[in-house]
Amino acid sequence: MRPLLDLLLFLATLLYSYLEALVKLFVPVRRKSVSGELVLVTGAGHGVGRATALEFAKRRSRLVLWDINKHGLEDTAEQCQELGATVQTFVVDCSKREEIYGAAEKVKKELGDVSILVNNAGVITTADLLSTQDHQIQRMFEVNILAHMWTTRAFLPAMMDNNHGHVVTVASAAGHFVTPYMVAYCSSKFAAVGFHKALTDELAVLGKDGIKTTCLCPVFINTGFVKNPRTRLGKILEIEEVVEALMEGILTNQKMVFVPSAQRVALLFERLFPERALNFLKKLTDVEFDAVIGQRSTQ
Ligand SMILES: NC(=O)c1ccc[n+]([C@@H]2O[C@H](COP(=O)([O-])OP(=O)(O)OC[C@H]3O[C@@H](n4cnc5c(N)ncnc54)[C@H](O)[C@@H]3O)[C@@H](O)[C@H]2O)c1
């Protein structure tokens, strides 16, 4: 009797979810206000991090900007201030746990509780696995995923106490799909996607429904992060369209933001199609970028 009841309940839940999604297509989505929120953006000195900081500045958030690059950070701060935002900058190397914890303590003491945390700082080395040096692999893991653990562990307690906050993970399409000459980077971004999903699940189980999570997964963006990317999949993204999608995702509490959104279909294909057919499709996409190949490192 029990399995039958469970099956009926599952089918009812499934139907309800689809109906809810259908209704939401026609009802305008409510966007939350981020005015007055204390927003911390890592890697705010350039690219996606800078553009995200500017979007929060336009929406009257109070900003805490972290980056390893002092000049980039100062430029971003200046642009945010021109928009009327209050901004504090901290030169932080996100590959170093103690530096993160030290800066987090300073932020809490001097400015208060961070309520929106944007883990954006990232690094990449494009090379085949044997040409990638040990320290490069280590750094990709330190910045692209371990830093997310340290910043979240530093700022989540206050969010938990207030049952209010938002943790944003800037991952990548490389956190869902693999690419040659990015073995360590893809691994670190798969970890970032996993971190986001596991944290989301844990917060739900703990009943912290006031703490939202968003994960951003874009393909190549025109920031210079990857050198000379080209693909037959479509154009290289501009920063503005990525950050527009990210902000929409944050303001409407979307859990996963794919740019472009067609990646969802590709994910479905990956689960449905046989390997040979997938390899054929992969060849058609013809993804290329500058990479070191065949120079085996000795350390
Ligand atoms: N550009 C792309 O093609 C692309 C695609 C998908 C995902 N992403 C992700 O988007 C995020 C931002 O990338 P971007 O394209 O804006 O790159 P970017 O190089 O333009 O900006 C990255 C910023 O992070 C900072 N940073 C690097 N190492 C740091 C460290 N140890 N501590 C503190 N700050 C550090 C840099 O100084 C820089 O200001 C990254 O996580 C990246 O993996 C980028």
Rounded average pLDDT over 19-48: 94
pLDDT tens, 113-165? 999 999 999 999 999 999 999 999 999 999 999 999 999 999 999 999 999 99
Mean model confidence pLDDT for the chain = 96
CB 116 within 8 A of CB 37: yes
pLDDT tens, 36-47? 999 999 999 999
CB 193 near ligand 1, within 6 Å = no
For the stretch 233-238, contacts whose Cβ atoms lie closer than 8 Å and that sit 24 or more positions apart, written own/partner, are: 233/285, 233/287, 234/260
pLDDT tens, 83-106? 999 999 999 999 999 999 999 999
Helical residues (DSSP H) of the chain, grouped into ranges? 2-26, 47-58, 70-82, 97-110, 134-141, 147-162, 183-205, 239-251, 263-272, 275-285
Hey, what domains does the chain have and what are their CATH numbers?
A: 32-285 (3.40.50.720)
> Is the full-model pTM beyond 0.85?
yes
Site of tokens 């204390």 = 38
CB 263 near ligand 1, within 6 Å = no
Q: What is the pLDDT of residue 285?
A: 87
CB 67 near ligand 1, within 6 Å = yes
Q: What percent of the chain has pLDDT over 70?
A: 99
Q: What is the pLDDT of residue 1?
A: 63
Q: What is the pLDDT of residue 299?
A: 66
Give the confidence band of 233 by pLDDT, cuts at 50, 70, 90: confident
Nearest CA to ligand 1 atom 18: 47
How close are the terminal C-alpha atoms of the chain, in Å?
61
Give the confidence band of 234 by pLDDT, cuts at 50, 70, 90: confident
CB 95 near ligand 1, within 6 Å = yes
Rounded average pLDDT over 225-244: 94
Question: How remote is the CA of residue 121 from the centroid of ligand 1, in Å?
Answer: 5
Can you tell me whether residue 93 is helix, strand or coil?
A: coil
Sign of CA dihedral 138, 140, 143, 146: negative
Which residues, at least 6 apart from 135, have a Cβ–Cβ distance to it below 8 Å?
Answer: 299
Whether 298 has a pLDDT exceeding 80, the answer reads no
Site of tokens 């958030």 = 61
CB 248 within 8 A of CB 284: no
Q: What is the pLDDT of residue 53?
A: 98
The half-sphere exposure of 214 on its side-chain side, counting CA atoms within 13 A, is 22
Give the confidence band of 192 by pLDDT, cuts at 50, 70, 90: very high
Determine the residue of 223, 237, 241 to mutate for testing ligand 1's pocket, defined as the one with the most ligand atoms within 8 A of the Cβ atom: 223
CB 65 within 8 A of CB 78: no
Catalytic residues: 185
CA 280 vs. chain centroid, Å, equals 29
**Partners of 215 in beta bridges:** 169, 256
Least confident of 44-48, 68-72, 109-113, 291-295: 291-295
CB 77 near ligand 1, within 6 Å = no
Other CB atoms within 10 Å distance of the CB of residue 69:
14
CA distances from 49 to 19, 61, 243 (A): 36, 15, 9
Q: What share of the chain is helix, strand, coil (3-state, %, to 5)?
A: 50, 15, 35
Rounded average pLDDT over 13-32: 90
Whether 63 has a pLDDT exceeding 80, the answer reads yes
Nearest CA to ligand 1 atom 8: 172
Residue type at 97?
R
Nearest CA to ligand 1 atom 7: 172
